[in-house]
Amino acid sequence: MSNLDIILQQLANGLILGSFYSLVALGYTMVYGIIKLLNFAHGDIYMVGAFIGFSILSVVSGILGDGWTGIVATMALSMIAVGFIGVIIQRIAYRPMLQAPRLSILITALAVSLILYNLVMSITDGEFKAFTVGLGYEGISMGEVYITFTQMVLVSATAVLMTILHLFINKTMYGKAMRAISIDQDACRLMGIDVNRVIAVTFFVGSALAAAAGVMAGVYYGSIHFFMGFVIGLKAFTAAVMGGIGSIPGAMLGGLILGLLESFGTQIPFIGSEWKDVFAFGILILLLVFKPTGLLGRTEIERM
Amino acid sequence: MSDIVLQLQDIETCYGKIVALRGINLVVKKGQIVALLGANGAGKSTTLRTISGLVKSSAGKIMFLGNDITRSPAHETVRNGLIHVPEGRRIFKGMTVQENLDLGSFTLKDDGVRKKRMERVFGLFPILEKRRKQDAGLLSGGEQQMLAMGRALMNEPKLLLLDEPSMGLAPFLVQEIMRVIRQLNASGATILLVEQNAKAALKLAHYGYVLETGKIVMENDGNSLQNDARIVNAYLGN
């Protein structure tokens, strides 16, 4: 392979990896922005999304087939289902803790994470499940570079979801309220905004995006596992911090950059692909040292 | 009796174990500007926060337009037309002037009405129209106060609670803000005004209350308070 081929191939690989990271990072950053919670259960929401998608697909594929029609329907249904799961978790686990010290709600999030993945582990007996879809390996080749249609569709789907999110956040009243709540909750109450309701909507949207990523990961990798949310949770958190936690464009950017860095990191001589996690977290540490607010983050001054 | 917009009966409010209000009784009638005066820490802001529902009273009763709103959460009292412009303006920095105004009419569904109201706000504060696309955090203090009031007006308030609208402003801006308050009142808004600047407030007010450590210690119509020797000594200076 020529150098150019390698660059193109890694660009494609990095974009798809980055898509998953971005979609999960968005949920992290939105929830942090609005209630200052690092929702460590968010990676598990992604995993639950994959399993819900798996169950829905087994029903839907009987009706719509396991091609793209079935997959898109599965994704949409999973997003709705997992969105509501996110809202329910928020209602039961987080809302009672909103007035408590920040550490308490963080520990609650860890507990939710443990509950979710142990629950899925016991249901699935800890086994890998094959995510069977009827997509071939057709694609386009440019010289030695080969990009499948599946990859292209998944990256495009991510772009569509992000565009919809962008419009929702910037153009609708609820989106504006969401941003306003991250600035000043009491002022929002005085505008007639039901803060709890907007928080619930935020959890719905964040969880739905994670579910989309979960289903996409199932489609792309072909198998799912109860532990799949752990590493991506950490990576998405890294991406959110890189972009500037609380910043929505930051999460999109951070995810893509992290995906690209990882895929290009595999090409560094003497550092094989098994070092890619070291590479990702090393970047996080460097960034925290030199630019702690992240690429697009705002400087927050905690006043006494 | 029907011209009473707001009535507080024996309102008590605590922050933890600290009692901030010790039985407040006050009445705001339709079309009035009522001033609430007092030193720092007397409980002026707490009174407004209790009325709008940001903090809960521990005893007493609040009636707004004949409805008991003592237990209503803040976002519901807004829907009935009781709008509170908090101390320190609390505009949404990082969002544009226009987005701030949009959020002021969050409870409104009709975009046409929203546009009309925004035009009215721009009529009162032309500077906001010029800066509608700018980050609200970049506005000057006076402009931020105008934005905070404009945002409240987007909700067509039946009663406007203003907390220290002149705080930190240059004298000519204080006059400008007071002029707008008078103008709003002339066009039908009822206003409960909290001010440290007692002189400016009493010039506008039809009626005034003086708070001291969580209690009302004096009340009278605006003119009498302005000439009351105790007020002059305590708040107006010579």
Residue by residue, DSSP assigns A143-177 as TTEEEEHHHHHHHHHHHHHHHHHHHHHHHSHHHHH
Tell me the shortest Cα–Cα distance from A291 to chain B, in angstroms. Answer: 20
Look at chain A and count its residues: 304
- Residue pair A38/A103 in contact (Cβ under 8 Å)? The answer is no
| A190 in a structural domain | yes
Predicted pLDDT at B226: 83
- Give me the domain span that covers residue A179: 3-290
| CA–CA dist B165, B147 (Å, integer) | 11
Q: DSSP character for A48? A: H
| A182 in a structural domain | yes
| A296 in a structural domain | no
pLDDT at B194 over 90: yes
CA angle B27, B18, B68 (to 5 degrees): 30
Q: Give the residue-averaged pLDDT of B157-181.
A: 91
Predicted pLDDT at A304: 35
pLDDT at B238 over 50: no
Which phi-psi region, left, alpha or beta, contains residue A65 (left: φ > 0; alpha: ψ -120 to 50)?
Answer: left
pLDDT at B30 over 80: yes
Predicted confidence pLDDT, tens digits, chain A (304 residues): 678 888 888 898 899 999 999 999 999 999 999 998 999 999 999 999 999 999 999 999 888 888 889 999 999 999 999 999 999 999 999 999 988 898 999 999 999 999 999 999 999 998 999 988 878 788 888 878 888 899 999 999 999 999 999 999 999 999 999 999 999 999 999 999 999 999 999 999 999 999 999 999 999 999 999 999 999 999 999 999 999 988 899 999 999 999 998 888 877 777 667 777 887 788 888 888 988 888 887 655 444 3
Of A186, A191, A195, the CB nearest to B103: A191
Domain tally, chain A? 1
Chain B window 10-39: which residues touch A at a Cβ cutoff of 8 Å? none
- Give me the domain span that covers residue B173: 4-236
The answer to whether the Cβ–Cβ distance between A183 and B151 falls below 8 Å is no
Taking CB atoms and an 8 Å cutoff, what residues of chain A touch B92? 179-180, 183-184, 187
The answer to whether the Cβ–Cβ distance between A176 and B107 falls below 8 Å is no
> Which of A39-43, A218-222, B220-224, B234-238 shows the lowest per-residue confidence on average (mean pLDDT)?
B234-238
Tell me the shortest Cα–Cα distance from A177 to chain B, in angstroms. Answer: 7
The answer to whether the Cβ–Cβ distance between A184 and B90 falls below 8 Å is yes
Question: What ipTM was assigned to the predicted interfaces of this complex?
Answer: 0.90
Q: Does B59 touch chain A (CB under 8 A)?
A: no
Which structure tokens are listed for A125?
A: 């007996």
Buried b (16+ CB within 10 A) or exposed e, B143-180: bbbbbbbbbbbbbbbbbbbbbbbbbebeeebbebbbeb
The answer to whether the Cβ–Cβ distance between B54 and A186 falls below 8 Å is yes
| CA–CA dist A196, A141 (Å, integer) | 50
Taking CB atoms and an 8 Å cutoff, what residues of chain B touch A191? 75, 78, 103-104, 106-107, 151, 155
- Residue pair A180/B101 in contact (Cβ under 8 Å)? The answer is no
Domain CATH for A137: 1.10.3470
Q: DSSP character for A221? A: H
- Tell me which residues of chain A have a C-beta less than 8 Å from any C-beta of chain B: 173, 176-177, 179-180, 183-184, 186-195, 298
The answer to whether the Cβ–Cβ distance between A177 and B103 falls below 8 Å is yes
Predicted pLDDT at B237: 57
Predicted pLDDT at B165: 92
| A16 in a structural domain | yes
| A146 in a structural domain | yes
Predicted pLDDT at A271: 67
Domain CATH for B14: 3.40.50.300
- Residue pair A177/B103 in contact (Cβ under 8 Å)? The answer is yes
The answer to whether the Cβ–Cβ distance between B92 and A180 falls below 8 Å is yes
pLDDT per residue over B85-116, tens digit each? 999 899 999 999 999 999 999 999 999 999 99
Tell me the shortest Cα–Cα distance from A85 to chain B, in angstroms. Answer: 26
Predicted pLDDT at A300: 55
| A300 in a structural domain | no
Buried b (16+ CB within 10 A) or exposed e, B37-49: bbeeebbbbbbbb
Predicted pLDDT at A196: 94
Predicted pLDDT at A287: 87
Q: Give the residue-averaged pLDDT of B205-221.
A: 91
Domain tally, chain B? 1
Which structure tokens are listed for B162?
A: 């203003």
Of B76, B85, B95, the CB nearest to A180: B95
Query: pLDDT category, B2, cuts 50, 70, 90?
Result: low
| A52 in a structural domain | yes
Pairs of CB atoms within 8 A across A/B: 69
